[in-house]
Amino acid sequence: MVVLDGCRVHAEVWFDGACSGNPGPTGGGAIVVIGGARTVLSEHGGVGTNNEAEYLGLLVGLRHARERGADTVTVRGDSQLIIRQLEGRYQVKAPNLRPRYEEAKALLAGFTHVSLEWVPRAQNAAADQAARDALQ
C-alpha cells in the first residue's frame, strides 16, 4: 500500500464501459492500483446504454478501492461526460444515469481527497479490455 502523510492509502482507479449496441448488453471494467498491487475488475451489467456501462466501470473500481481501505483516490477515465458530471460541470439529465451518478458521488465523498482526470482512449486500454471482457 502507498502511505501518504503517515496514514493515507491512495488508489488509482482507471474505468471504462462497453456496450454491444446502444442500448444493449453492457460491461464495466476497472483497473485499481493500490501500493503497486494492480487489480483488474470486470462486471456484466445487463442491458443498458454506453453511459450506464461507463458508470458501472467507475462504481466497480470505487467500491474495490474503498473495500481495500483507500482514503484518497485518483480517478481516470476516457468518458468526458462522466468526468464532467462528477466535477459538476455537466448536469445529469438522463434519468437512467441518476442512480449511478448518486452512488458514485456517495462513494467519492468517502475519500479524503479525490482527483478526477479525463484521459485519451489510447491511455485507457487496460480498463477498456476489462470492460469488453465483462461482455463475454
* Rounded distance between C-alpha atoms, residue 37 and residue 59, angstroms: 19
Extract the C-alpha cell encoding 52. Answer: 450506464
Extract the C-alpha cell encoding 23. Answer: 442500448
Q: What is the pLDDT of residue 79?
A: 97
* Rounded distance between C-alpha atoms, residue 10 and residue 76, angstroms: 14
Q: Which domains does the chain have, with CATH numbers?
A: 3-131 (3.30.420.10)
- Average pLDDT of 81-86? 98
pLDDT at 2 over 60: no
Q: For cell 462504481, what's the residue?
A: 59
- Average pLDDT of 122-134? 97
Number of helical (H) and strand (E) elements in the chain, helices listed first: 4, 6
Q: What is the pLDDT of residue 65?
A: 98
